[in-house]
Amino acid sequence: MTISPRREFFRKLALFGGLAALSSAVRVKAQTVSNAKLADFAGGTILGQDITCDNGMPAFLACPAGSGPFPTVILMHERYGLVQHTRDQAMRCARDGYAVMAPNFFFRHPDQAALNAGNARYDLTDPESVELINAALAALTRHAAADLTKVVVAGYCQTGRHPLVFAAEVPISAAVVWYGAAARREWEVNRLQPKALDDVIAALRCPVFAAFGEADHIISIDDVQRLRNRLEGHHKSYDIHLYAGAPHGWLNDTMPGRYRKPQAEAGWAAQQRFLSKVFAGGFEAGRVSWRFEGDSGTDYDFSRNVRLE
């Protein structure tokens, strides 16, 4: 029997690791988080627990109660680290039928409180992001609820590029990007980003979902079009959405100045349709699927976009 590259990768990961951080069992810190059994998943229950990977990286794990296994989502966070918003997103994604791990990818920062408040920054390098996503997946080999033959990596804002970076190196089912991976600085080659983003895109082996906002002060419509054009230039499948009036961070309902409920609900629904298509085999090998949906004004002027809190 032929073993798929994805299945073979995770078989080896579970047996051997590849880094010292991946080779041991996960230490469970708490069986539940605030008695995290929420009876709001189709009349059922969502289970949540805090775990610590063997490399010391904390993570929040959420999944539907039941035998599973469920398609797996590695949920990356914004620049603030593993805050309540990311935990809420993990629970929401679990309600959609996924086993979700939300690690603290910035756990090595010495001042977590300052990071969470937005008063400090952790510069995650591309190689470190691959290391830590691998550590998260190795942790999930200990959890029967997670189907590691069906893996999605989702990034937001600062971490938006990292699903693409990981997918260029490791076979996964899909990469999901929310208002990231497209700004001018993402195309630079430097210590944090040693490989050109265009080369990363060329190496992708899975479809990409991306959501952006017209009013984003970091990512312009030209930037979104550049990402779209490079995906097309390398014959990669994508589903990209640009939402009218949405500023940077518009999915984050803990930041009232940024949150846009209609756009957030529409974007989440579009993401779920995309993932349903992925796991239904809708992206056929050897075929390319391009879908772009945008809504912006004829008087659009990127210079008028401002940061909102």
- Asked if residue 79 is part of any domain, the answer here is yes
- Asked if residue 219 is part of any domain, the answer here is yes
Report pLDDT for 137. 98
Rounded Cα distance between 131 and 22, Å, is 9
DSSP strand E in the chain: where?
Answer: 27-30, 37-41, 44-52, 58-64, 70-75, 99-103, 146-156, 174-178, 208-213, 238-243, 290-294
Task: Return the structure tokens found at 305.
Answer: 């976009």
- Residue 106's identity, in one-letter code, is F
- Model confidence pLDDT, tens digit, residues 197-208: 999 999 999 999
pLDDT surpasses 70 at 21: no
What's the number of domains the chain is made of? 1
**Residue 284: domain span:** 5-304
Which DSSP letter does residue 304 get?
G
Percent of the chain with pLDDT over 70: 86
- Asked if residue 63 is part of any domain, the answer here is yes
- Model confidence pLDDT, tens digit, residues 72-114: 999 999 999 999 999 999 999 999 999 999 999 999 999 999 9
- Asked if residue 27 is part of any domain, the answer here is yes
- Model confidence pLDDT, tens digit, residues 235-250: 999 999 999 999 999 9
| Averaged pLDDT of the chain | 89
- Model confidence pLDDT, tens digit, residues 254-287: 999 999 999 999 999 999 999 999 999 999 999 9
CB–CB of 100/90 below 8 Å?
yes
CB–CB of 270/241 below 8 Å?
yes
- Asked if residue 309 is part of any domain, the answer here is no
Report pLDDT for 253. 97
- Asked if residue 86 is part of any domain, the answer here is yes
| Of residues 103, 113, 119, the one with CA closest to residue 162 | 103
For residue 186, what is the domain's CATH number? 3.40.50.1820
- Global pTM? 0.89
- 223 membership: H or E segment, kind and range: helix 221-233
